[in-house]
Chain A
Amino acid sequence: MLNDLKKIWHPIASSAEVQKRHVFHAQLLGREYAVWRADDGNVNVWENRCLHRGVRLTIGINEGTELRCQYHGWRYANRTAGCTYIPAHPADAPARTICNNTYPVKEAMGMVWSGEEAFAEPVHFKNFEKYTVLRPIPINGNFNIIREMLSAKYRLLGHTTRDEVNGVLKVILKNGEVILFFVQPQDSNLSVLRGVVNQKYSDSERVLFLRAQNRILQSLRNDIEVLSKKRQIDPMIVQIAQVSSELSKMPQKKDIGRQAVLRVQVAEKKKTAKDIVSIKLVSLRDQLPTFQPGAHIDLHLQNGLIRQYSLVNGPGETNFYNIGVKLDALSTGGSEYLHKDIREGDVLACSVPRNNFPLRRDSLKTIFVAGGIGLTPLLSMAQSLDVMNLNYEFHYFVQNEDHIAFSSILKKLKKTPLVHQGLSPKLTKKKLNEILLYHNNSMNLYVCGPGPMLETTRQVAAELDWPDNSVHFEYFKNSNVIDDSSSFKIELARSALSLKVQSGQSVLEVLRANGLDLPSSCEQGACGTCKVSVVDGAIDHQDVYLNESEKLKGNVMMTCVSRALSKRLILDI
């Protein structure tokens, strides 16, 4: 019986109860739900429990795009319920798989519907295009008792009643109007009686109608409660939804290889600046996985190429991925293909979002320095700081006005971006000196742009004594020529394997050839996905992902390009 009830769609709130910037507490078959509407109108139905320490999310804060837990400030994204930020560890990107339990949801006839296992399409009721929702009546009583007594009551008053599927009661009033009644079983002895009539009234008529029905239902409620006191039924037993075994331990690296697990469709492609197109990708079926600001996806193009693009999305924009693609004059086929051949409606394969460029949100001030198309990840970051009301400066270096991309997003930022146009390398350097002159230890710098500009920014920051660990950067590509002539041995500390890397082979290739599936993305030492800890040995760093002090420390390497200076390396895998 209970299992059947789980498969049915039940109303759990009236639409009016689920206001923006509010979290509504609902209960169904013993389980508690946090129901909240994002600013884009989407209604989320989640288990009412933060995955971290079990605090009810109904006491959390609906920020419009994300729900924030009261206890430790974890943030969960609209739609995906994926955790996007863990304030206790500002430098880390949360494991993408930390995801709250979500339940099916529909909004129809002025009510929000859900069901623990309501995977089938809901029943459609005809002639309810116009409707008025009755005031919900909470009743201390069992849903079966309520259904029987409800039908008896209306029949006694001379109306006709009819049992519909899934326990719905149809009441045909004497004047021909039809009311559908749904009993929402909150628990064995606790229900909410909800109804909807197939008529839209004028204001004064509506008040009269609702009042009349309310009178009937209130007296019914008293009768039911008297009876139910005598017939108490054991409360329902709710299984606490478990977290995956991987989450119950400390987070570990996951998503393996260079896989394109998602199928996405080009929903919109438009020019946003000279030589730059904005592409919006939507999922063909399932919900797209959660992203965090700074994340990128690998697009697998139909011509066989794999390219990385940063997401421009703001927090809570979880029903599409938005990327910016610059036509590269020296394109080897990636950007050219996306510019010329791809059309709206085309389907592509892409990876889940990976974040190797995480944004700290514990700075008193963040400085963003974007050059050209390097704008994209920083734009996503600035929007995230905006929802948290954190302070930043946004600098955008472009050739001229025609090159300003995503201006509609730029205009919406709370801090007006400072656009620097047409500066020569010398003047750029001078400008950077001004921008970076003042700093203290609760500031962080995020830079993304073409190689030479990035080099200059890092150099200026170093000259002005910015500590290495507050300068965060992301290169588009590694323009160093990779020297793969050395040969050496690698030993794997955890799997007790010893392997040989010949000249011409990368560490990553050797690991893969031996059955160790390591995640990777750009495979040229720029993105940081293939990072591995090194226990012993001298590393020949050839990537552009690590900063100087990380390279000196010598305890991590990019396995796609970096090699050994010593005869062997011991890797922590």
Chain B
Amino acid sequence: MEISCKDPVILNQWHPVSSLDVLTMDTVENTILLESKISFQLNSKEEVTAWLSLDDEKTLLPTRISYGFIWVSLGNPPKDLFLFPEFSESDRQNVATGVFGVNVSAGRTVENFLDMGHFPYVHSGILGEEPHTEVKEYDVEISEERDEVLATSCKFYQPQAAVNSNEGMDVDYIYRVPHINCALLYKTSPVDDARLDVIIIFVQPMGEEWVRAHTGMCLIDDESTAEQIRQFQQTIFGQDKPILENQYPKQLPLDSRIETPIRADKSAIAYRRWLSQKGLQYGVIPSAI
């Protein structure tokens, strides 16, 4: 079976294809990964198998189950997936908050997730509000040892930041990008300001300009129902989608001459540099050297 995507960097990754909670045992599911049709199935022993749908021999693809999702690779994936220890903390609620199809590249989707500057405009009244538009200085590093992009000491004004207050205030954020298409956001919990909620986005590249974004939350919260959490995430993503689909070009420019960064985009700049260093070609406009 011929796989049309030829970029080893993306082929050798683990890619999320479904959250576990929506699957029925022993039923074959179909999806698209890097333009190839694939099928997968979960059995009652919680084992997953996957293969290229059009492959008569049904050669098995590498699979794994991690963090509530099924992951598949079309190449030779690394032994381990990135770390996400909060997922297994006993007092947390893990909710898959939905999968969203977007006509844009994976890189643009991840970058939008890292971006605070759009809160007052795109998520007005929820994650931000005019005129509180300042993105204060924060720190970014590309951690060699963990091979991830890390943005810390991020702060952004949020209206109604805490459960029992109508006042807006600065909320603290930490962003991790431990995988070229996956990002995690750590944010002060509205119920316990000493702990952090985690919001995740795992992007499945169906093609270079077409993705499914799998989202989820890992919360310290005994109040909200899974349904409420899902609704919230639907609203947020519903606001981002039309913006993402109106970005031109759709592929992420690693070539610096296409767009104009500002200091607030430090994390995006680091993310783009990190992708360049890895030599990624798929879904990006490589930098002209």
Contact = CB atoms under 8 A, between A and B. Distances in A.
Interface of A: 32, 48-49, 51-56, 59, 70-73, 86-91, 98, 240, 242-243, 245, 247-251, 361-364, 388, 390, 442
Given A70-B243, A247-B260, 18 more contacts: A52-B262, A53-B247, A55-B247, A87-B121, A87-B130, A88-B135, A88-B264, A89-B135, A90-B133, A98-B260, A240-B249, A242-B257, A243-B259, A361-B133, A362-B134, A363-B131, A388-B131, A390-B131
B117 A72 contact: yes
A70 B133 contact: no
B60 to A, nearest CB: 40
A470 to B, nearest CB: 13
A257 to B, nearest CB: 25
A467 to B, nearest CB: 15
Contact of B260 (A51, A55, A56, A363): A51
Given A70-B121, A243-B259, A249-B256, A54 B249 contact: yes
B118 interface: yes
B259 A362 contact: no
Q: Which of A88, A242, A247 has the most CB of B within 10 A?
A: A88
Nearest to A97: B260
A56 B134 CA distance: 23
Given A32-B248, A72-B118, A86 B262 contact: yes
B118 A71 contact: yes
Nearest to B111: A53
11 contacts: A51-B260, A54-B249, A87-B120, A87-B131, A90-B131, A90-B133, A243-B259, A248-B257, A248-B261, A362-B131, A364-B131
B258 interface: yes
Contacts of B259: 51-54, 243, 248
Classify chain B: how many residues form its interface, as a range: 20 to 34
Interface in B97-143: 111, 115, 117-118, 120-122, 130-135
A248 B260 CA distance: 5
A250 B247 contact: no
A87 B263 CA distance: 12
B122 A71 contact: yes
Contacts of A52: 259-260, 262
Interface in B225-274: 242-243, 246-249, 253, 256-264
A51 B248 CA distance: 10
B249 A89 contact: no
Majority SS at the chain A contact face: loop
Contact of B262 (A56, A71, A88, A362): A88
Contacts of B258: 54, 240, 242-243, 248
Nearest to B257: A242
A249 B131 CA distance: 27
Interface of B: 111, 115, 117-118, 120-122, 130-135, 242-243, 246-249, 253, 256-264
Contacts of B117: 72, 87-88
Contact of A362 (B118, B132, B264): B132
A310 B256 CA distance: 35
A91 B134 CA distance: 9
Most B CB within 10 A of own CB, among A49, A55, A72, A87: A72
Contact of B246 (A59, A91, A364): A59
Shortest Cβ-Cβ A-B pairs, 4 listed: A87-B133, A88-B264, A248-B256, A88-B117
B256 A70 contact: no
B139 to A, nearest CB: 16
A250 B262 CA distance: 6
A499 B51 CA distance: 71
A88 B133 contact: yes
Contacts of A251: 262
Contacts of A88: 117, 133-135, 262-264
A71 B131 contact: no
A88 B266 CA distance: 12
Given A243-B260, A250-B262, A251-B262, A71 B243 contact: yes
Nearest to A83: B260
A1 B135 CA distance: 48
Contacts of B247: 53-56
B121 A72 contact: yes
A71 B128 CA distance: 13
Given A49-B248, A54-B247, A89 B260 contact: no
